[in-house]
């Protein structure tokens, strides 16, 4: 049976560190709900010590999310860990995520600490978190530029102290797929108690290799991938969730793993994020860009007409891009309106559909074209507000 790879989504934490991607509390809650519908295993809701706003957002998300784990990030110091716990403790499945840098350059210049001091700090932090929960993740920041044998030591130490997930980030997007594969394999082969924890990866996209690196790590035995919707994140971003999941699914014979992602929610999730942060999906974005299933050349069009598989390796429906052809206007019926809502990522009950249907008709009388953005605004304004 295929092994499970856990999807850890950090759109609301690392993703929000993307310039221009700041979200307010309501927007974060809407996004968290969508991530849960998408089927991610862990939602990293924020960095509670960073600000009062972050604390409140993490706390609110912890209260509304039902089945996914909710993680809060903290540095390896007691005050951060206590604050993180305060924010996530009401979650059904809280996770404390502690990080500490392990590369020579970070230890020397950023932390001003020796390797032994860092090791002791990591152990102390995990033991401190353990009084609150058994669900503890430790991240060795800048792992990909760290000494491999030191990483073995750190990993063994934090597992011994109680960490159940050890994350090996490529913090600066520096590594290459074959190196990262070797590194994860080295840890799997040399960390004594490695089977007591899940090895996780977290890749940045500075050299455009975040997705490829994450996939190489999965080949080497990593069983948690950290990623964001549309790959938003610090600097050039993180590994894009939709690319990772569709690669694992499309090339199952290579990876032989499965995720809990409902792929037909991928497009609605990307659209939702794009609409919230006001950043359009680039037309050539893999999987979800407007051009991802468009065929321009005559040869390609001819092939696709004869058999779509000639030039399409997945179907639009498999990522939830079902009804691009539905144009909403004054002649649309309630069925079309309901389907448009589904395409936009909203599952409405009959009463909500009728409220939306009426709002659409009213607008269509005044306006020639009713765009997706109009329908989404009406869902938020007329359907949800009216119920509150």
In the complex, the residues that contact ligand KIV under the rule CB under 6 A are 14, 99, 139, 141, 167, 169, 171, 202, 204
**238 annotated as belonging to a binding site for a ligand:** yes
Helices marked H in 168-265: 177-190, 210-219, 241-250, 252-255
Question: What contacts 263, CB < 8 A, 6 or more positions away?
Answer: 245, 246, 249, 318, 319, 320
**142 annotated as belonging to a binding site for a ligand:** no
Question: Nearer to Zn ion by C-beta: 71 or 379?
Answer: 71
What is the chain's Cα-based Rg?
22
In the complex, residue closest to Zn ion by CB? 14
| Minimum distance of ligand KIV from residue 81's CB (angstroms) | 14
| Minimum distance of Zn ion from residue 139's CB (angstroms) | 9
Contact 3, 248 (CB under 8 A): no
Question: Tokens at residue 363, please?
Answer: 């607008």
Question: Nearer to ligand KIV by C-beta: 234 or 343?
Answer: 234
* SS3 state of residue 112: coil
Q: Which does 352 bind (CB under 5 to 8 A by kind): Zn ion, ligand KIV, none?
A: none
Q: Which does 99 bind (CB under 5 to 8 A by kind): ligand KIV, Zn ion, none?
A: ligand KIV
Question: Nearer to Zn ion by C-beta: 14 or 243?
Answer: 14
| Minimum distance of ligand KIV from residue 73's CB (angstroms) | 6
**335 annotated as belonging to a binding site for a ligand:** no
Exposure of 219 in the CB half-sphere (CA atoms within 13 A): 17
b (16+ CB within 10 A) / e for 162-186? bbbbbbbbbbbbbbebeebbebbbe
Q: Which does 346 bind (CB under 5 to 8 A by kind): Zn ion, ligand KIV, none?
A: none
CA distances for 298 relative to 295, 305, 313, angstroms? 8, 10, 18
| Minimum distance of ligand KIV from residue 143's CB (angstroms) | 8
**14 annotated as belonging to a binding site for a ligand:** yes
The residues binding Zn ion (CB under 5 A) are 14
| Angle ∠(297,299,301) on CA atoms, nearest 5 | 70
Q: Which does 139 bind (CB under 5 to 8 A by kind): ligand KIV, Zn ion, none?
A: ligand KIV
| Minimum distance of Zn ion from residue 147's CB (angstroms) | 20
| Angle ∠(188,192,198) on CA atoms, nearest 5 | 50
Question: Nearer to ligand KIV by C-beta: 172 or 360?
Answer: 172
| Minimum distance of ligand KIV from residue 188's CB (angstroms) | 20
Question: Nearer to ligand KIV by C-beta: 139 or 275?
Answer: 139
Q: How far apart are CA 288 and CA 277, in angstroms?
A: 16
Residue given tokens 């429906």 in the structure block = 317
Q: Which does 75 bind (CB under 5 to 8 A by kind): ligand KIV, Zn ion, none?
A: none
Question: Nearer to Zn ion by C-beta: 14 or 36?
Answer: 14
Annotated binding site: 14, 202, 204, 238
Annotated binding site for Mn(2+): 14, 202, 204, 238
């Amino acid at each position: 049976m295929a092994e499970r790879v856990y999807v850890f989504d950090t759109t609301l934490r690392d993703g929000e560190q993307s310039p221009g991607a700041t979200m307010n509390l309501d927007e974060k809650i809407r996004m968290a709900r969508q991530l849960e519908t998408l089927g991610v295993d862990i939602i990293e809701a924020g960095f509670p010590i960073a600000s009062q706003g972050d604390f409140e957002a993490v706390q609110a998300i912890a209260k509304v999310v039902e089945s996914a784990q909710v993680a809060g990030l903290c540095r390896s110091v007691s005050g951060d860990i206590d604050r993180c716990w305060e924010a996530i403790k009401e979650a059904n499945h809280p996770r404390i995520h502690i990080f500490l840098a392990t590369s020579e350059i970070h230890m020397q210049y950023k932390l001003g600490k020796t390797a032994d001091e860092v090791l002791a700090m990591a152990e102390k932090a995990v033991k401190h978190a353990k009084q609150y929960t058994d669900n503890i993740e430790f991240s060795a920041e800048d792992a990909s530029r760290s000494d491999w044998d030191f990483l073995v030591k750190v990993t063994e130490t934090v597992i011994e102290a109680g960490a159940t997930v050890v994350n090996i980030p490529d913090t600066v997007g520096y590594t290459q797929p074959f190196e990262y594969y070797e590194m994860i394999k080295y840890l799997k082969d040399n960390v004594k108690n490695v089977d007591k924890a899940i090895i996780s990866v977290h890749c940045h996209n500075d050299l455009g290799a975040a997705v490829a690196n994450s996939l190489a790590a999965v080949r080497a035995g990593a069983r948690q991938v950290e990623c964001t919707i549309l790959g938003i994140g610090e600097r050039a971003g993180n590994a894009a969730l939709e690319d990772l999941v569709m690669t694992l699914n499309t090339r199952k014979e290579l990876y032989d793993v499965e995720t809990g992602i409902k792929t037909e929610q991928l497009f609605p999730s990307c659209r939702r994020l794009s609409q919230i942060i006001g950043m359009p999906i680039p037309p050539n974005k893999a999987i979800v860009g407007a051009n991802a299933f468009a065929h321009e050349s005559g040869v390609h069009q001819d092939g696709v007409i004869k058999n779509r598989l000639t030039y399409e390796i997945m179907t639009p429906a498999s990522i939830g891009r079902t009804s691009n052809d539905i144009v909403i206007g004054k002649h649309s019926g309630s069925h079309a309106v309901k389907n448009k809502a589904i395409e936009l990522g909203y599952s409405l009950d009959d009463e909500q559909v009728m409220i939306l249907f009426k709002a659409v008709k009213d607008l269509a009388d005044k306006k020639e074209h009713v765009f997706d953005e109009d329908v989404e605004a009406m869902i938020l304004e007329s359907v949800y507000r009216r119920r509150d």
